[in-house]
Structure 1
Amino acid sequence: MRRIFIFFGLVALFLTAACSSNDEQPAEDSEAKENATNQKAEASGALHTYPLTGVKTDQPVDNRMVGVMVNNHRKARPQTGISKADIVFEVLAEGTITRFLAMYQSETPDVVGPVRSAREYYFELTRGYGGLYIYHGAAHFVNDMIQNRGIEHLDGALHDNDGQLFKRASFRTAPHNSYLQFDGIDDAAQQKGYDMTRSYEPLPFASEEEAASINGDSAERVTIVYSNRPKNIVEYRYNAENGTYTRYSDGTKTVERNGETAITTDNIFIVETPHQVIDDAGRRQVDITSGGDAYLIQKGNVQNVQWENRDGRLIPVKDGDPVPFVPGQTWVNIVPSSPGMEQSVTISNE
Structure 2
Amino acid sequence: MRKWTMLALLAGALLLGGCWGEKEKKIEKDNERQTKGQSYTFPLTGKQTKEQFDQRAVAVVVNNHPQARPQTGLAEADVVYEVLVEGNMTRFLAIYQSEHPKEVGPVRSARDYFIDLAEGYDSLFIAHGYSPEAKERLFSGEVDQINGIQHDKTIFTRDSSRKAPHNSYVQFDKMYEEAKEKGYELNDMPDRLNFLKSSDVTEGAEQKASSVRVVYSSNPAFQVEYRYNADKKSYERFVGGEQQFDRESKRAIRAANVLIIEAGHRVTDGEGRLDIDLSSGGNAYLVQNGVVHTAEWSNVEGRILPFKDGSPMGFAKGKTWINIIPASKGLDKMVNLGNN
Alignment of 1:64 onto 2:39:
no
Q: Secondary structure at the match of 1:188?
A: helix
Q: Secondary structure at the match of 2:90?
A: strand
> Radius of gyration: which is bigger?
2
2:168 aligned to 175, 178, 197, which one?
A: 178
Q: Secondary structure at the match of 1:129?
A: coil
Q: Which residue of 1 aligns with 2:12?
A: none
**Structure 1 contact 245–265 (Cα < 8 Å) conserved:** yes
Alignment of 1:124 onto 2:116:
yes
**Structure 2 contact 228–234 (Cα < 8 Å) conserved:** yes
Residue deviations 1:80-138 (CA, integer Å, cap 9, x gap): 01000000000001121100000000001111000000001101110111111100011
Deviation at 1:45, TM superposition (A): 3.1
Deviation at 1:268, TM superposition (A): 0.2
Is the deviation greater in 288-297 or in 255-264?
255-264
Q: Which residue of 2 aligns with 1:3?
A: none
User: What code does the residue aligned with 1:199 have?
Assistant: M
**Structure 1 contact 214–301 (Cα < 8 Å) conserved:** no
User: What code does the residue aligned with 1:102 have?
Assistant: A
User: What code does the residue aligned with 1:122 have?
Assistant: F
User: What code does the residue aligned with 1:255 have?
Assistant: F
- For residues 25-44 of structure 1, the aligned pairs below 5 Å read none
Deviation at 1:215, TM superposition (A): 3.3
Aligned equivalents of 1:184 and 1:259: distance in 2? 20
Is the deviation greater in 87-96 or in 65-74?
87-96
CA shift in 2, pair 1:259/1:50, >3 Å: closer
**Structure 1 contact 46–56 (Cα < 8 Å) conserved:** no
Alignment of 1:161 onto 2:153:
yes
Deviation at 1:43, TM superposition (A): 10
2:274 aligned to 277, 284, 291, which one?
A: 284
Q: Secondary structure at the match of 2:266?
A: strand
Alignment of 1:199 onto 2:189:
yes
User: What code does the residue aligned with 2:299 have?
Assistant: N
Deviation at 1:346, TM superposition (A): 0.5
Aligned equivalents of 2:195 and 2:204: distance in 1? 12
User: What code does the residue aligned with 2:216 have?
Assistant: Y
Aligned equivalents of 2:125 and 2:183: distance in 1? 14
Deviation at 1:199, TM superposition (A): 3.1
CA shift in 2, pair 1:134/1:112, >3 Å: same
Residue deviations 1:270-289 (CA, integer Å, cap 9, x gap): 01110111112111111111
Q: Which residue of 2 aligns with 1:83?
A: 75
Deviation at 1:148, TM superposition (A): 2.8
Aligned equivalents of 1:313 and 1:332: distance in 2? 11
**Structure 1 contact 269–333 (Cα < 8 Å) conserved:** yes
2:130 aligned to 125, 138, 144, which one?
A: 138
- For residues 1-350 of structure 1, the aligned pairs below 5 Å read 45-148=37-140, 150-162=142-154, 165-211=155-201, 213=203, 215-229=205-219, 231-350=221-340
Q: Secondary structure at the match of 1:64?
A: coil
Aligned equivalents of 1:248 and 1:261: distance in 2? 13
**Structure 1 contact 94–281 (Cα < 8 Å) conserved:** yes
Deviation at 1:59, TM superposition (A): 2.1
Deviation at 1:154, TM superposition (A): 0.5
CA shift in 2, pair 1:56/1:179, >3 Å: same
User: What code does the residue aligned with 2:134 have?
Assistant: V
CA shift in 2, pair 1:345/1:44, >3 Å: farther
Q: Secondary structure at the match of 1:106?
A: coil
Aligned equivalents of 2:122 and 2:197: distance in 1? 25
TM-score (norm 1): 0.84
Deviation at 1:200, TM superposition (A): 3.0
Structure 1: state its 5+ residue gaps. 1-41
Aligned equivalents of 1:46 and 1:102: distance in 2? 29
Deviation at 1:60, TM superposition (A): 2.0
User: What code does the residue aligned with 1:153 have?
Assistant: Q
Is the deviation greater in 66-75 or in 183-192?
183-192
Aligned equivalents of 2:295 and 2:86: distance in 1? 28
- Cα RMSD of the aligned pairs, angstroms, is 1.7
Aligned equivalents of 1:149 and 1:92: distance in 2? 26
**Structure 2 contact 106–168 (Cα < 8 Å) conserved:** yes
Is the deviation greater in 249-258 or in 109-118?
249-258
Is the deviation greater in 68-77 or in 190-199?
190-199
Aligned equivalents of 2:249 and 2:76: distance in 1? 13
Aligned equivalents of 2:266 and 2:203: distance in 1? 39
Aligned equivalents of 1:58 and 1:256: distance in 2? 26
Aligned length: 307
Aligned equivalents of 1:97 and 1:174: distance in 2? 17
What fraction of aligned residue pairs are identical, expressed as a percent? Answer: 44
Aligned equivalents of 1:69 and 1:46: distance in 2? 35
TM-score (norm 2): 0.86
